[in-house]
Homo-oligomer: A and B are copies of this chain.
Amino acid sequence: MAVQTVATSSDSTVDLGPAAALSCRECGHRVPLGPVFACEECFGPLEIAYDFSAYDTEELRRRIEAGPASIWRYAPLLPVPADVAEKPNLNPGWTKLVKADNLARELGVTGGLYVKDDSGNPTHSFKDRVVAQALEAARAFGFTTLSCSSTGNLAGAVGAAAARAGFRSCVFIPHDLEQGKIVMAAVYGGELVGIEGNYDDVNRFCSELIGDPSGEGWGFVNVNLRPYYAEGSKTLAYEICEQLGWRLPDQIVIPIASGSQLTKIDKGLQELIKLGLVEDRPYKIFGAQAEGCSPVSTAFKAGHDVVRPQKPDTIAKSLAIGNPADGPYVLDVARRTGGAVEDVTDAQIVDAIRLLARTEGIFAETAGGVTVGVTRKLLQEGVLDPAKTTVVLNTGDGLKTLDAVAGTGLTATIRPTLDSFREAGLA
Interface residues of A (CB under 8 A from B): 69, 88, 90-91, 94, 96, 101-102, 120, 122-124, 156, 159-164, 166, 170, 175, 179-180, 182-184, 186-189, 191-197, 201-202, 204-205, 208-209, 212, 214, 353-354, 357-363, 397-400, 402, 405-406, 408-418, 421-422, 424, 426-427
Contact = CB atoms under 8 A, between A and B. Distances in A.
A413 B361 contact: no
Copies in the complex: 2
Nearest to A186: B408
Given A159-B361, A160-B357, A182-B409, 18 more contacts: A88-B102, A91-B96, A102-B163, A120-B120, A161-B361, A175-B413, A179-B406, A184-B402, A187-B357, A188-B361, A193-B421, A195-B413, A197-B415, A201-B416, A202-B416, A214-B422, A214-B427, A397-B399
A418 B363 contact: no
Given A102-B166, A402-B184, A214 B410 contact: no
A421 B214 contact: yes
A427 B398 CA distance: 35
B357 A188 contact: yes
18 contacts: A91-B96, A96-B122, A102-B163, A156-B363, A163-B358, A184-B363, A184-B399, A184-B402, A187-B405, A189-B357, A191-B412, A191-B426, A192-B409, A193-B411, A193-B412, A193-B421, A194-B410, A201-B416
Contacts of A201: 416
Question: What are the nearest 3 A-B pairs in CB distance?
Answer: A189-B358, A160-B361, A164-B361
A257 to B, nearest CB: 21
A163 B359 contact: yes
Contacts of A415: 195-197
B411 A191 contact: yes
Contacts of A192: 409-411
Given A361-B122, A398-B187, A421-B214, A194 B102 contact: no
Contacts of A406: 179, 183
A412 B212 CA distance: 20
A405 B187 CA distance: 7
Contacts of A413: 175, 193-196
Contacts of A363: 123, 156, 160, 184, 187-188
B183 A402 contact: yes
